[in-house]
Amino acid sequence: MNNYFVVGNSVSTSLSPTIFNYWFKKYKIKASYGYIEIKNKNFTKEITKVIKNKETKGLNITIPYKKQIIKHTDILDKHSKKINAVNCILIGKKIKGINTDWLGYFNSLPKNINIKNKTILLVGYGGAAQAIHYVLRIKGFKKITIFNRTRRKINFLKKLKYTKSLKTLDRHLGSAGLIINTTPKNLIKKSKKHLVDKNVLLSDIVYSPKETEFLKMFPKNKKIYGISMLLHQAIPCFKLWFGFSPSVDTKLIKILDKKIK
């Protein structure tokens, strides 16, 4: 049987197996999807073993290995080259790596809300945040302010710029049209939540719980939930492996809703 896995250092609770095994059953594909947890010090040895297994046909790569996996690939798509991160692998005669996080996030943005000319606050600048920043830039979003705990160089810009300190986030809340949280915590203080207008669109890439501490703080605002990005980044992975895009139907949504608390 052909095997597919999500690989990371803490993936036992990942919903990727639920999503892909549902699609395998729906489309009568003889394959299985599981998870493999690898400790940092063993990554090179363990991932080589997984890739060399003849039954392994594809992988999803998650935290913290999206950059480390690159040296184990033969071909990269243009997006993973620019983002310098890979989250999906096709194993054949050559090992192809692609990045679908950027597309997953863009396709989770609501089509009925015009935010292109609004100010976007991107909180955190790890691998997923860089993929989000990349797609916002190539799709023509101009007003993006990035905050991070440590000072980091901002990619995809012609001029050299650095992230702003998280300590200054409060000062920008009043001008926001979209706030994207890519960190595991809520970094907006309760005493400052009144600065966020009820018309601001809120987004969190963490998918469990559905209502993260950040989203829960603003019950009246419209939201983009983390599960949306997970689903939309999975679709092009499936297409890379099998040649067509799977559909996200109501049955799958209901299954995932039950698993997300």
Catalytic residues: 66
DSSP notation for 162-227 = BPEEGGGGGGGGGGEEEEEE-SSS--S-GGGGGGS-TT-EEEE---SSSS-HHHHT-TTS-EE-HH
Contact, 10 vs 37, CB < 8 A? yes
SS3 65: coil
> One-letter amino acid identity for 214?
F
SS3 114: coil
Q: Which residues lie below 8 Å from residue 255, measured CB to CB, with a gap of 6+? A: 18, 22
Q: How far is CA 167 from CA 164, 187, 189, 211, in A?
A: 8, 9, 11, 24
- 47-65 burial string, b = 16+ CB within 10 Å, else e? beebbeeeebbbbbbbeeb
- State how beta strands 56-61 and 88-91 pair: antiparallel
